[in-house]
Amino acid sequence: MSNTPSKKLNRRFFLRVSALAGGSILLGGGIEASAQQRGGTPRNAAPILPSAFIQIHPNGMVTLTAKNPEMGQGIKTALPMIIADELDLDWKLVRVVQADLNEVKYGSQSAGGSRSTPNNWDLLRRIGASARSMMIDAAAQTWSVPAAECYTELGKVYHRPSGKSLGYGELAAKAATLTPPDLATVKTKDRKDYKFIGKSLPTVDLPAMVSGKPIYSIDFKLPGMLFAVYEKCPVFNGKAVSANLDEIKALPGIKHAFLVEGNGDVASLSSGIAIVATKWWYAQNARKSLKVVWEEGPNAAHSSAGYTAKAAELFTQKPAFAIRKEGDVEAALAAAAKTVDVKYTFPFISHAQLEPGNCAAKFEDGKLEVWAPSQTPGRGQQMAAQALGIDAANITVHQLRTGGGFGRRLANDYMIEAAWIAKLLPGTPIKLLNSREDDMRHDFYRPGGFQHMRGGVDANGKLTAWHDHFVSFGEGEKFVSSSNIGPGEFPANFVPNFGVEATLIPTGVPTGPLRAPRSNSLAWVIHSFIDELAHAAGKDPLQFRLDLLGEPRVVGKGMESYDAGRMRGVLEMVADKSGWGKRTLPKGHGLGVGFHYSHSGYFAEVAEVSVDAQKKVKVHKVWAVGDVGSDIIHPSSAANQVEGAIIDGLSELMAQEITFEKGRTMQSNYHQHQALRIKQAPPEIEVHFLKSKNSPTGLGEPPLPPLLPAVANAIFAACGKRVRSLPMSKEGFSWA
């Protein structure tokens, strides 16, 4: 592993040790992070200091700060593990605390795009290595021996020749007097010397979680807190004109009721009615008596039926604009030995995270304090400042553990609503809590879409032509959030005659990223269609994919680059692990395969599925192989992320759909937007990682996309029925 820092180092700033009350020390030092690491913070901001992350106590205990939001992805454990490994700590003596929002101090603090690991891998290793170097120097001077004769292990420095040792807590005072090393020359560990990275250490917060302690945002309370609900127009971006507020205020437990005009931005502050009570159930029950006059606006004309009809009409017309064109698709299709011409459809779906939107807030003396389960707390802080008309420096954001996010908490509407209510009630802490119906009917949905796919293979079974008329949502050539397809989306660069063209349908529906945004729907279409082409060519579906990938090489540039060698590696391994082509399956069983490159991760998956005469589906096993770089920091959390992504994918495949009538969401709860039940889950999910020479990347998203085509293709192998419209329940399928 290279020891050359990838982050820019500013030599004006250096490692320093400052004494704290009680004898603890903070380890400092200067690492000026890149703009990407800082998440947009100006480059002339103060450097990121190890003192932000490490506090050493006289008794040998060490407090490490977890900087990023924790929403079940395990980052509150994984990021401190990186520091602890480089610092050679004893994990039993480590305490992890969650940082408040301070992006000047910590760099970017967000959870999304599977970026927490790649954005912090080098930064946190160098922070830990800097502190370790200081401990060695302090011990060497104490003993009057060369630093080269010393080494560290489990929070102590040892002298090899004599066997003497000193704990880090004992070295704090001495370390405070030393000249720090040059950060540019600080040496990080070789991989062979890792003690924690690659091992499943006890997960932070696990004892509290299993014992039911109040660690989630939904549990948070303050003395004297009031509780709020927020009623919005059932039509997106509709406005509240009037309401029976005096009647509501007279109901039991109700303290306040307000009409909020909003600012016209559903991602910030929608117009609505806020009800505040001494208990949440009082406020929630009062909603039943609300009589609101709404101005529904133009979005009331939108419906799912209208979108479907419009897509059918657009498929009879030429696409509106090109995303990518190479070669001569029409000539190649005309010359092909076999062609496939089909249409695929996928629906809007909800994030449906278990913990509904919530936020606690207190406004006093012109300052706002919030406690929020946000994936983007910095963005929420800026939005709250703009909505309330105060300086962002006067807003303190405490990061609380989140009960699932999956992209929903990239939006901060619930934070802005809570902040607005708190400003109306200065000095009183309030807690806004959405109902499940609020969450599902006012989500930022994964957008649906329609794709007309045409492809051709030659007499040798080689894919020679590919065309996708992609009908999605937006206006002109501007897609709404998470509804686009990129010019480098596979199999771009792998088919000589290739075209993706698009036409957009206007929508009033709020959309946004959902776990593996875009890839979670595109992979299903792309790799189901590839499967159809493989069968048309008379080829084994897995071998057809290997042939399509060709020799190991990197194609495309920048964000659109694609490493065919890494994808071949995971595809070949999953074939081996699943026994592809080597097993005789029972009647009614089938194997299906899918792969996809998503959020810097390469994943291939195989599913074994059975289908009976009543179209009842049982997924017997899923094999998943991923390449997310050189190191799996916390293996049990990593496997959990893969398993969870597979379960999510099965839910999306079979039963999840959001539909609209007269601008209204027709689904309200899990009974209409079903998650996979335990009895329906695969009895076994086998997870493997293929380590490569690349720096580690994230795992929250890339395992999900290949699951959908793998299962859909296995269903075809089992019963001969090709699924081209999701959810599969619309095609008569159900879980066994």
Report the C-alpha gap between 568 and 281 in whole angstroms: 55
Nearest to 156 by CA among 179, 138, 177: 138
What count of other Cβ atoms lies within 10 Å of the Cβ of residue 369? 19
- pLDDT score at 352: 97
For 304-348+445-735, CATH number? 3.30.365.10
Closest alpha carbon to 510 in 238, 112, 229, 218: 238
Q: What is the pLDDT, as a whole number, of residue 182?
A: 67
Residue 735 has pLDDT above 90, yes or no: yes
Q: Across residues 501-524, what is the average pLDDT?
A: 98
Domain definitions of the chain by residue range: 17-210, 217-297+357-433, 304-348+445-735
Q: What is the dihedral of CA 243, 249, 252, 256, to 10 degrees?
A: 110
Please give the residue that has the higher pLDDT: either 28 or 731: 731
Please say if the pLDDT value at position 42 is more than 50: no
Amino acid, single-letter form, for residue 124:
L
Q: How many other CB atoms are there within 10 angstroms of residue 261's CB atom?
A: 12
Predicted pLDDT of residue 559: 85
In whole angstroms, give the CA distance from residue 687 to residue 138: 44
pLDDT bin (cut points 50, 70, 90) of residue 183 is low
Planar angle of CA 490, 460, 328, nearest 5 degrees: 50
Closest CA to 522 of 506, 502, 539: 502
Strand 449-457 and strand 338-346: the pairing is antiparallel
Six-digit token pair at 238? 């509709």
pLDDT at residue 510 tops 90: yes
148 — pLDDT class (breaks 50, 70, 90): very high
Tens digit of pLDDT for each residue in 184-202? 688 999 999 999 999 999 9
Predicted local distance difference test score (pLDDT) of residue 170: 96
- For β-strands 554-555 and 562-563, DSSP reports them as antiparallel
Q: How confident is the model at residue 49 (pLDDT cuts 50, 70, 90)?
A: confident
Residue 43 has pLDDT above 60, yes or no: no
Longest dimension (CA), the chain: 84
The secondary element (H helix, E strand) that includes residue 152 is: strand 150-153
Give the pLDDT confidence of 349-358 residue by residue, as tens digits: 999 999 999 9
Same CATH fold, 304-348+445-735 and 17-210? Answer: yes
What is the pTM (predicted TM-score) of this model?
A: 0.94
Sign of the dihedral through C-alpha 166, 167, 173, 178: positive
304 has a pLDDT exceeding 60 = yes
**Separate counts of helices (H) and strands (E) for the chain:** 18, 32
CATH 3.30.365.10 fits 17-210, yes or no: yes
What is the third-level CATH fold of 217-297+357-433? Aldehyde Oxidoreductase; domain 4 (3.30.365)
CA distances from 366 to 227, 241, 369 (A): 21, 29, 10
* Amino acid type, 101: L
321, exposed or middle or buried, with CB in 10 Å at 0-12, 13-18, 19+?
A: exposed
What value does the mean pLDDT of the chain take? 93
The pLDDT assigned to 4 comes to: 36
Return d(Cα 231, Cα 474) in angstroms, integer.
27
DSSP 8-class letter at 580: T
Question: How does residue 177 score in pLDDT terms, banded at 50, 70 and 90?
Answer: confident
CA distance 257 to 599: 44
Dihedral sign for Cα atoms in the order 334, 338, 341, 347: negative
Please name the amino acid found at residue 310: K
pLDDT at 25: 60
Compute the residue count for the chain: 736
Give dist(CA 520, CA 727) in Å, integer.
Answer: 13
Cα 558 to the center of its chain, rounded Å: 21
What torsion do the CA atoms of 504, 505, 509, 511 make, to the nearest 10 degrees? -20
Condensed to tens digits (0 to 9), the pLDDT of residues 68-110 reads 999 999 999 999 999 999 999 999 999 999 999 999 999 999 9
Residue 384 above 90 pLDDT? yes
Token pair, residue 626, equals 């991923």
Instruction: Find out whether the peptide bond into 703 is cis, omega within 30 degrees of 0.
Output: no
